[in-house]
Structure 1
Amino acid sequence: MSAVAEHGAGVTLTGISKKFGDVTAVHPLDLTVPRGSFFALLGASGCGKTTTLRMIAGLEQPTSGTVRLGDDDVTALPPHRRKVNTVFQSYALFPHLDVHDNVAFGLRRRGIRSVTKDVQRTLELVELGHLARRRPHQLSGGQQQRVALARAVVNRPEVLLLDEPLGALDLKLRRQMQLELKRIQTEVGITFVHVTHDQEEAMTMADTIAVMNAGRVEQLGTPVELYEDPASSFVANFLGQSNLIETEIADTAGADLLLSAAGDVRLALPAARCRARSTAAGTRVLAGMRPEKISLAHRDAAADGSVADGRNRIPGTVVDASFTGAATQYVVASPVCPELSVFVQNVERDPRLVPGAEVVLHWNPAHTFGLDGDQDIDAGTGEDAL
């Protein structure tokens, strides 16, 4: 049973779109966010993710379509009448109020007089109970972010909207807060809809991710589904890193498609993992594999039979090797692609794998995915990935 069927919908967008004059920021889309889930809208700047979030919040009026929170159609309701709260990248804390009163502000504005217990419980949730009487300027960036989160959560909205809330934090603190946000969401059980351009952030926290591109949802799924089985070259390149090779279907062998590539390279691709428009011979396919799925063997080792039969193989030459601590990132020139990326864990490093070394890249064919060959092989890279 799906999460939506079991728990109901927290947010339902039906045919929602937004135009600003002649510019279409969001093309008509349908999205259902399961109640109580952590949902991420992921994409580059200008893809429409923040506009979609603002339509949920009521800060932008849709050009078409409807917004439902639970069972209620809120499309025509102003922001203050929607059971949502929003946390922005700029925390907008009141500098003249201490932490306790910042968190209590929304409750008091709603006419609730006895707020101390709710405020203290929420501050404990974000692990700031001991700082209740400090002013915002006395807090670190991470602590201010937690205050902003507590101020939103204390109102117990049906949906909490997060618009790049970690963007102002440094890398180490951002990663720590990713885990904290997920913990808090799990504990309070509120539906979170999180907008981000950071792929790692989305994959760390979200139950479901909608990858957006040019105002459309490119693919929707769990982090594992999107990473292991991307539906397009944009998703393959934008979510993590992929090697994409231009090939065409030459034949079949059982459950596999046999692909031919430049340099007389032959590759096997599970037919079930091919998203090309056809599996007929001659069909163009972008064969993809993630860098960490590939093993690297020196040419001499490969000649000695260290590479098992049945694996996909590509010959190449190492052009760059970067030590990153846990792994070494190699760039390999080959007949099928001028730059193939390979990530190798630093467990038993072969000292011969240096720039200029002749090598064989090899991997399990089951780790290959196939995309329609008519797509832009570079979609999701460069400016698209910012």
Structure 2
Amino acid sequence: MATETPAGDLRLVGLTRRFGVFTAVDDLTLTIAQGSFFALLGASGSGKTTTLRMIAGLEEPTAGQVCLGDRDITGLRPYRRPVNTVFQSYALFPHLDVAENVAFGLRRRGIRSVGKQVAEMLALVQLDGYGRRRPAQLSGGQQQRVALARALINHPQVLLLDEPLGALDLKLRRQMQLELKRIQTEVGITFVHVTHDQEEAMTMADTVAVMNAGKIEQLGNPVDLYEFPATAFVANFLGQCNLLAADAAGPTGDDVTVTAHGTRHSVPVGRARADRGPVHLGVRPEKLRLAGSADEVPPGHQHVTGVVSDAAYVGVSTQYLVRTGWGSELTVFAANTGTEGRYPVGTPVVAYWLPEHAFLLPRAPGEADRTTPVLDEPVAVLP
């Protein structure tokens, strides 16, 4: 086992991985701050898992470097890197009890007295008293905690998590999201979490990188990515978004004036990724409200008219589709507060919003509305 090196930021420099003519990861340069909870978020084939495997040493880069602090670890074998990985499958040893599963890495290094460290790790993952059980006697969430304890007991500088919650049911997955964040805060090491689940990434991570076709579309904290996406792909990958084809006339004072389907709207300058020419006018479904007529729209709001084409009650909200006069369907999430009326299918309505809740994104000339989640690129299947 290599001696521990000084901890530091994890840096990926020009990292590239090609499989024949297909480029899975394309010249990726990224710095992951020491002690942060970082999420690589993307659809299948976006390159996120290949990136994680190159950090772990399980995949050899075609080009580029993996550095930890000032040390280049690109050429090190996986077992010589101060990095551990928790996989979706957990890979626990069925013939060993929980305590021996957790102690496995220490015993491989020749450490005999492991009882205290194992007990501390089991307490950390809230499995006190489970040491003598076998993996088959545990629930999926408990097995996930054992895998986490087994990785953490080696005191890695970086812990890699490859879709670790994917096999859990929804309720347990949400519980484990909170647990993972608690554990990361307590141990203070760098977590790099790969997932396709945007809620998972936004719940746990300090910083999220949205990957698409081997590149990072946008990097930042979850609030900034959701509230002010940089591209149409990010807007529709992180939740849903109504993107209306519009044309911007440029800034006038503090606002940018745009025309969408014959109606003029304004967006604050600070909410514009593009302020001239073809743009998408974006509004999240939960930022839209419905009224029965334009007379009911509060002052200072902007609006479009349409007809309810679908209404789905989902408990916390009612999700409406509103078909506009030009044919697109806008999605509206109306919170079920008990204070607002219901709008049956076929009801004429007005969808309205505050200008500061909208944003402008670049739009390719001739590109139409994008009002349903779509991918910019076809999904590629890695060999």
TM interval, shorter chain, is over 0.9
Residue 217 to residue 251, structure 1, CA distance change in 2 (3 Å): closer
Partner of 1:214: 213
1:290 matches 2:288: no
1:381 to 368, 374, 379: 374
- Say if 2:317 is the partner of 1:318: no
Counterpart of 1:26, as a letter, is V
Contact 1:246 1:336 in 2 (8 A): no
Offset at residue 337 of structure 1 (A): 5.3
Please name the residue that 2:20 is paired with: 21
Counterpart of 1:4 in structure 2 is: none
Relative distance call for 1:43 and 1:342 in structure 2 (3 A) is same
Q: Aligned match of 1:267 in 265, 268, 279?
A: 265
Distance 1:384 1:176 in 2: 33
Distance apart, 1:76 and its partner CA: 0.7
Question: After the TM superposition, which parts of structure 1 deviate over 3 Å for at least 4 consecutive aligned residues?
Answer: 250-253, 348-352, 375-380, 382-386
What's the counterpart of residue 106 of structure 1? 105
TM-score (norm 2): 0.93
Partner of 1:249: 248
Q: Which residue of 1 aligns with 2:196?
A: 197
Cα distance in 1 between the residues matched to 2:374 and 2:8: 34
- Classify 1:337/1:184 alpha carbon distance in 2 versus 1 (closer, same or farther; 3 Å): farther
Percent of matched pairs sharing the same residue: 60
The answer to whether residue 44 in structure 2 is matched with residue 45 in structure 1 is: yes
Of stretches 31-40 and 64-73 in structure 1, the one that deviates more from structure 2 is: 64-73
Report if aligned partners of 1:9, 1:33 keep a CA contact under 8 Å in 2: no
TM-score normalised per structure 1: 0.92
Q: Counting helix residues as a fraction of each chain, which structure ranks higher?
A: 1
CA deviation vs aligned residue, 1:137-177 (integer Å, no higher than 9, x gap): 00001100000000001111000000000111111111110
Alpha-carbon distance change, 385 to 141 in structure 1, aligned in 2, over 3 angstroms: farther
Alignment of 1:31-180 (within 5 A): 31-180=30-179
1:103-148 Cα shifts (integer Å, max 9, x gaps): 0010010111111101000000001111110000000011000000
Contact 2:241–2:373 (CA under 8 A) maintained in structure 1: no
1:71 Cα deviation after fit: 2.3
In the alignment, the residues of structure 2 paired with residue 311 and residue 322 of structure 1 have an alpha-carbon distance, to the nearest angstrom, of: 25
Q: Residues 26 and 252 (structure 1 numbering): CA distance in 2 closer, same or farther, change over 3 Å?
A: closer
Paired amino acid for 1:267? H
Please say which of residues 354-363 and 115-124 is displaced more in the overlay.
354-363
Uncovered stretches (5+) of structure 1, i.e. residues with no partner: 1-6
Unaligned runs of 5+ in 2: 1-5
Partners of 2:134 and 2:279 in 1: CA distance: 58
2:341 aligned with 1:348: no
The equivalent of 2:3 in structure 1 is none
